Amino acid sequence: MSNTTTLRSNTTVAFSLDYYYALYVNPPVVVGIFRFGYPIIFLFGFIGSIGSLLTFSRVTLRKVSTGCLFIVLGISDTIFLSMCVIDFVEFGLQIPFYHHIQYDSFCRFRSFALYVSQVLSAWTLVAISFDRWIRTRFPYKSSSICTPKKAMLLVFIILLLDIGIHSHILTPLYGMLIPGFAMIACGPTIYSGSYFLFYFLDWSIIQILIISLIPVVLMLIFLIDIYLNIQARKRAVIQPTHGSHEHNRSQYQKNLQRQMFILMLTSIGIFLITTLPVATYKITSARQSNISTAIMQVAGVWIGLGWFQSLNYALHFYSHCLTSTLFRKEFMLQMKYLAGDKRARANKMEVTATAFGTQTQVR
């Protein structure tokens, strides 16, 4: 009797999933966004991520804590883009994974990597803002506080918390929901009970907070205080008391930190522009009593805003090239070095100068 009941239950679940799999078909606009929009993201994103990683791996940049944080940002962006490739294949090219793989495990892996990389990218930008804030607020202590080792320790703590927050996605409570439908292919399993309600009512709010709103607030606080400090120092009249050699080294260090500030500012600007519309829509979109109707109505807008948010993970390299002379210089030197020009390799003097904040001036 027990075996018969179990068999009926499994048959009912399978029938329900197949029924919804046939009922929920991605609207043409959703398929179009995945099929034609995401390849543009991949083209610029992967090339840009490789370019950023190569540039910030230059010894003159990775000796600076901010440069190390930008390396982490590049890795996190690459992971996010890689997960988007899976969505492109399933929802854009419409190659079904359901019935061909263990879809529950597939959902856990895809969603976990996607969400963890999103949070890591957002909070790495917060860490970059914090790093620049310390250098502005405590300039004489920053050389001992803002070190690559401490920056990596901070990233490790962020990653541990990030993994802990998303650990529930790796449990059997999470898996296949409506396979093949872009918005809710993965989610809480239909038999998860209270977790089902938690995921759609509470977890969505938590995601908005930790991916968008809290990072945005913190970054704006740091930026405003940095701006006020810079303005205050411009009004202060300080007579130089050191020789020309010390003056040149001091000027280079100021230029280096200014260039790093520009890199931070452009990255945060892209994050604000691409993330806030998604967060705003998720908060303000009306909840309708007819779930089926609501899902079909918001699918196009939701996926479209998701594509727009993906620009955040694809455009950092190009914004850095456009706004920072230091980044362009280091990128070109790295390209020359990879092409076989050993003269483009940072020499011992540059490495030592970077480590102690006393490099020669960048023009």
Q: Quick one: average pLDDT of 42-66?
A: 91
* Lowest mean per-residue pLDDT among 72-81, 114-123, 226-235: 226-235
Query: Quick one: what percent of the chain has pLDDT higher than 70?
Result: 77
Structural domain including 53 reads 27-234+253-323
Kindly tell me if the per-residue pLDDT of 34 is higher than 50: yes
Reported as a pLDDT band with limits 50, 70 and 90, residue 41 is: very high
DSSP 313: G
pLDDT at 52 (0 to 100): 92
Is the residue at 296 inside a domain?
yes
Query: Quick one: what percent of the chain has pLDDT higher than 90?
Result: 34
Kindly tell me if the per-residue pLDDT of 253 is higher than 80: no
pLDDT at 2 (0 to 100): 43
pLDDT at 354 (0 to 100): 46
H/E element, 235: helix 214-235
> Over the stretch 126-166, which tens digit does the pLDDT of each residue have?
999 999 899 888 888 888 888 999 999 999 999 999 999 99
Return d(Cα 335, Cα 331) in angstroms, integer. 6
Torsion 111-117-119-122 (CA) sign? negative
Kindly tell me if the per-residue pLDDT of 11 is higher than 90: no
- Give the mean pLDDT of the chain: 80
pLDDT at 299 (0 to 100): 66
Is the residue at 339 inside a domain?
no
Kindly tell me if the per-residue pLDDT of 357 is higher than 50: no
Is the residue at 150 inside a domain?
yes
Phi, psi of 96 (to 5 degrees): -70, 135
The CATH number linked to 104 is 1.20.1070.10
Assess contact for 201 and 138: CB atoms under 8 A: no
| Range ranked top by mean pLDDT from 162-171, 231-240, 298-307, 351-360 | 162-171
Scan for tokens 């411009």, then name that residue: 234
> Over the stretch 280-296, which tens digit does the pLDDT of each residue have?
877 776 554 444 555 55
Reported as a pLDDT band with limits 50, 70 and 90, residue 7 is: very low
Is the residue at 131 inside a domain?
yes
Kindly tell me if the per-residue pLDDT of 271 is higher than 80: yes
Is the residue at 307 inside a domain?
yes
* CA-based nearest residue to 307, from 30, 8, 3, 2: 30
Instruction: Name residues whose C-beta falls within 8 Å of residue 101's C-beta, 6 or more positions apart in sequence.
Output: none
Return d(Cα 352, Cα 349) in angstroms, integer. 5
Higher pLDDT, 78 or 6: 78
For the chain, what is the domain count?
1
Q: Which amino acid is at 116?
A: V
Is the residue at 332 inside a domain?
no
DSSP 342: G
Kindly tell me if the per-residue pLDDT of 85 is higher than 90: yes
Is the residue at 230 inside a domain?
yes
Reported as a pLDDT band with limits 50, 70 and 90, residue 1 is: very low
Is the residue at 289 inside a domain?
yes
Tokens of 166: 């998303």
DSSP 29-52: HHHHIIIIIHHHHHHHHHHHHHHH
Q: Quick one: average pLDDT of 18-24?
A: 53
Return d(Cα 75, Cα 55) in angstroms, integer. 13
Q: Quick one: average pLDDT of 322-334?
A: 86
Return d(Cα 361, Cα 363) in angstroms, integer. 6
